[in-house]
Amino acid sequence: MTSAVPKSPDETPLKRSFRQQMHLAREDAIVSAVNRLLAEKGFDAMTVDEVAAEVGIAKASLYKHFPSKEDLAAAAMVRVMDRARAFLDSLEGRANQQPIEQLRAVARWTMEVQLAGEMPSLPSENSSLRASLTTNKAYVDGLMDVSERLGNWITLAQADGSLNNTLPAIAVLYTLFARACDPVLGFLKGSGQYGNDEIIDMVLSTCFDGLKSR
């Protein structure tokens, strides 16, 4: 039996050339710029020229990395979805945390990301980005994973009485997703009367406790 010849360090996938590293660094800078612009003005108002100017490269160079505006935005949406999955992983690693506490933590995290200007606004129903995302495997897989895990926590929280069990689980799920693009956060921040933590606490209260007097 012949043993395999070990690969030299230069042949390992972990060792990248300087050119490859620069390529990846530029892509990272592009996606970060797109993320900020999507959070600030949304997909329809964002232009490729703005992205190129933000990164400091020619538009032709930008298209070598991402061939369309939809591809640019999809990359930013995938990055946020990956961040969300990593956050859910961290929650699942905490011992003795109740499902309702995990759901509140997720809602808090999404609002923190939005207030930091790092949450892309969701595309409108007739946006070309929405159509593009439905065929983006990385995004769809991420969305399904996040939805499944949140859905499980919602079911458990309804079963233990900490969430209203007369509401369809999907309505609760979409309500949590909506916190990622809640305009109330921007309105309250724009008033200049409250800090980010105060704003998040107030919106969490209206989301999980409602507006009815206790």
> Residue 125: pLDDT band by 50, 70, 90 thresholds?
low
Gap between the terminal Cα atoms of the chain:
76
pLDDT in tens, 44-54: 889 999 999 99
Domain residue limits, the chain: 73-208
Look at residue 2 and tell me whether its pLDDT is greater than 60: no
> Residue 90: pLDDT band by 50, 70, 90 thresholds?
very high
Look at residue 42 and tell me whether its pLDDT is greater than 70: yes
* Range in 37-41, 87-91, 104-108 the model is least confident about: 37-41
Look at residue 13 and tell me whether its pLDDT is greater than 60: no
CATH 2.20.28 for domain 73-208? no
The reported pLDDT for the residue numbered 11 is: 45
For the chain, give the percent of residues with pLDDT over 70: 90
pLDDT, mean of residues 168-185? 92
Look at residue 14 and tell me whether its pLDDT is greater than 70: no
pTM over 0.85: no
The reported pLDDT for the residue numbered 9 is: 46
The reported pLDDT for the residue numbered 123 is: 66
Look at residue 190 and tell me whether its pLDDT is greater than 70: yes
Q: CA 190, CA 161: separation in Å to the nearest integer?
A: 36
